[in-house]
Amino acid sequence: MRKFAVIAVIAGCLPTFAWGPEGHSLVARIADAQLTPAARARVAAILGPDTTMASISSWADEVRRSRANTAPWHYIDIPIDKPHLDMARDCPKGDCVIAKIEDFRKALNDAAIAPAERREDLMFLIHFIGDMHQPLHCSDNKDKGGNDVHVEFFGRRTNLHSVWDSGLLGRMGTEDQLFGPLSTESARRARKWSKGTVEDWAEQAHKAAQKMVYGRLPKVAAGAPVPIDAAYEKRADPLIRQQIEKAGARLAVVLNATLR
């Protein structure tokens, strides 16, 4: 019993990662349904037997601790008080999520790369296009993308980042309940959403963080936990649905264009 309590306390102090496994799996399943036959065949050949895009969509989070150099690859800290992304300012070392998406996209067609490495490159790409659609993975308020913001979320003490990774999504229904409607809506609007560059998509996520994630946050006394209530949730849920729909459509567009 004591051991569990200690583990729970340690786990509560660690920063949280990305969309939880449910969010990444939804993005991968939505994208899979929008792949061309050619892209689907190449994905299957790269990933190998008994492996789907959904089944490896959270692998990058599983290796994040053992491969410390990959930790910054999951996000880009665009300051919340700046109007635009500036790669020189926000990604000076080229190790942020936006630079890595481009690196791994190019690697998929690089004949010099060995199959095992290409498999990892595809697993990273699938995960990172999901991550960059979580608004707090494209934003920072000098709070590690909301990891340092204490909140009270329906009776539970947690942090703002975790609420946006998985807390809100977890209250929206099961993965199987969400998949049908999100996949249909994603396919319906895919053409419109696939316009623009990966940098444009990051700016959209950043704008959503400005307007909704931080913009609608109740004001509280310094140090007090911020209450995330039903009114906040009601505005947040449509944004989360749309970010997952966009991520799925855009992952498909990137793979369809790259794996011909």
When binding is defined by CB under 6 A, the residue of 30, 47, 56, 75 that contacts ligand ADE is: 75
Of Zn ion, ligand ADE, none, which one sits near residue 77, judging by CB under 5 to 8 A according to partner kind?
Answer: ligand ADE
Of ligand ADE, Zn ion, none, which one sits near residue 140, judging by CB under 5 to 8 A according to partner kind?
Answer: ligand ADE
- Choices 52-60, 137-145, 177-185, 217-225; region in contact with ligand ADE by CB under 6 A: 137-145
Under rule CB under 6 A, residue 60 binds ligand ADE: no
Tokens 């369809």 map to which residue?
256
User: Which residue, 115, 87, 81, 80, is CA-closest to 101?
Assistant: 87
Of Zn ion, ligand ADE, none, which one sits near residue 75, judging by CB under 5 to 8 A according to partner kind?
Answer: ligand ADE
CB 153 within 8 A of CB 228: yes
Q: By rule CB under 6 A, what string of x and - marks binding of each residue 117-136 to ligand ADE?
A: -------------------x
CA 55-204-39 angle, 5° bins: 35
Tell me how far, at minimum, the Cβ of 201 lies from Zn ion, in Å: 16
Under rule CB under 6 A, residue 80 binds ligand ADE: no
Sign of the C-alpha dihedral computed for residues 21, 25, 28 and 30 taken in this order? negative
When binding is defined by CB under 6 A, the residue of 145, 201, 214, 236 that contacts ligand ADE is: 145
When binding is defined by CB under 5 A, the residue of 29, 74, 206, 241 that contacts Zn ion is: 74
When binding is defined by CB under 6 A, the residue of 61, 90, 121, 140 that contacts ligand ADE is: 140
Question: Looking at beta carbons only, is 26 or 190 nearer to Zn ion?
Answer: 26
Under rule CB under 6 A, residue 32 binds ligand ADE: no
Residue-wise over 95-131: b if at least 16 C-beta within 10 A, else e? Answer: ebbbbbbebbbebbeeeeeeeeebbbbbbbbbbbbbb
Under rule CB under 6 A, residue 40 binds ligand ADE: no
When binding is defined by CB under 5 A, the residue of 22, 90, 121, 131 that contacts Zn ion is: 131
What are φ and ψ of residue 124, in 5° steps?
-65, -45
Question: Looking at beta carbons only, is 24 or 118 nearer to Zn ion?
Answer: 24
Of Zn ion, ligand ADE, none, which one sits near residue 241, judging by CB under 5 to 8 A according to partner kind?
Answer: none
Tokens 């190019």 map to which residue?
106
**Contacts by 168-171 with C-beta closer than 8 Å and gap 24+?**
168/233, 168/236, 168/237, 168/240, 169/19, 169/20, 169/22, 169/23, 169/240, 169/244, 170/20, 170/22, 171/233
CA distance 27 to 129: 9
Token readout for 4 is 């569990």
Sites of contact with Zn ion (CB under 5 A): 17-18, 61, 74, 131, 165
